[in-house]
Amino acid sequence: MIATPYLLYLGNSTDPYAIKTARGLAIFRPESCVGEYRTDRCTLTLDLPRLGFADAVASGARTMVLGIVNAGGTLDHNVIDDAIAAMEAGLDLASGLHQRLKDEPRLVAAAERTGRQLHDVRDPPRDLVVGSGEPRAGNRLLTVGTDCSSGKMYTTLALHRAMQARGVACDFRATGQTGILVAGAGVPLDAVVADFISGAIERLAPARYDDGWDLIEGQGSLFHPSFAGVSTGLLHGAQPAALVMCHDPTRRVMRGLASRALPGIAECIEANLATARLTSPNVKMIGIALNTSALDTNDAVALCLRLQDEHGLPCMDPHRMGVEPILEALLGPAEGAARA
């Protein structure tokens, strides 16, 4: 188990998307985050106390989470130097980067010298099997997207909170590094060998018989050449009864691919439903979730209303506006709303 509370490491980050792991923890597990570590070159903040490593330990932190992502998921020399200093101050390390902490000799040596623990979140189970596609009982919802980093984890967690508030039995099923750190468990799907992706999801969200819901965090996009394989395996393994489309309306090109235009929402809806029907013939798209953080309130509301009319689906920013209309499309009105 990864010891809490956390110190969130932002390092030298200047790209808001690069600290999505740290931001996700700050939003969805604030009680476990005592502060952030950032250098003077970092232009970002999570509005947590800015702490050095010794100060973080004095404030109760037990683990420094490398809350950053980058192309290739590598550890550069600055991060390694900071990680060693954090261990020397008394902190364990946790990371979801593709490059494992335990594969870096300097970190292994420092951990042995200081008695600290190294936690690699992107270590998949070793005994996975290929998916069968056999129908299984239970209700499952999967978030999908027009692109990667489009709000799938945020939407899934927002739906989880809203369902819990209604008293509906539900479980958040994490498939990425941030979600796993938030939930404390899950499968790092982009580290799973391709043949076993759908099987990994079948195991992550097994049959259930309580009328509750498994809310499965989506990954990638069917339209992103780098990650479409992961998205396809997820759709097949999840056997979802419902999908929610996630979209960043300010983005014009696929993340990391400046020459490839972002697909349209309608095109994405059609493709995801068609792909999901291989193992879930009756799957439905129940809503659109937008990331409107770059828009002012009036523009965000107007855009949601316009897309709602265009696609005939409830459209909301989960973080900014909540998810109740989407949840109503899935479950119907809450009891109090129905009586009113």
CATH number assigned to the domain comprising residue 24: 3.40.50.720
For residues 145 and 152, the answer to whether their CB atoms sit within 8 Å is yes
State in Å, rounded, how far the first CA of the chain is from the last one: 45
Q: Do 232 and 259 fall within a single domain?
A: yes
Residue 195 has a CB neighbour count (10 Å cut-off) of 12
* Together in a domain, 189 and 93: no
Query: Do 279 and 195 belong to one domain?
Result: yes
Q: Does residue 321 sit in the same domain as residue 175?
A: yes
Residue 63 lies in a domain: yes
- Residues 173 and 313 grouped into a single domain: yes
d(CA 256, CA 152): 18
Which pLDDT does position 337 carry in this prediction?
57
Is there a single domain that holds both residue 297 and residue 251?
A: yes
Q: Say which residue the tokens 């799973």 belong to.
A: 192
pTM for this model (two decimals): 0.88
Whether residue 192 sits in one domain with residue 73? no
Specify the pLDDT at position 256: 87
| Whole-angstrom distance, CA of residue 129 vs CA of residue 127 | 7
How many separate domains does the chain show? 2
pLDDT at 71: 63
Does one domain contain both 144 and 98?
no
Instruction: Please give the pLDDT value at position 339.
Output: 41
Residues of the chain with pLDDT under 50: 338-340
Q: Are residues 102 and 150 in the same domain?
A: no
Q: Please indicate, yes or no, whether residues 21 and 57 belong to a single structural domain of this protein.
A: yes
Q: Which domain holds residue 69?
A: 6-120
Q: Look up the CATH number of the domain holding residue 227.
A: 3.40.50.300
- Asked if 278 and 152 sit in the same domain, the reply is yes
Within a domain: 127:
no
Within a domain: 248: yes
Is the same domain home to 250 and 176? yes
Note the pLDDT of residue 186. 93
Domain final position from 120, 149, 164: 120
- Structural domain includes residue 134: no
Is 157 part of a structural domain of the chain? Answer: yes
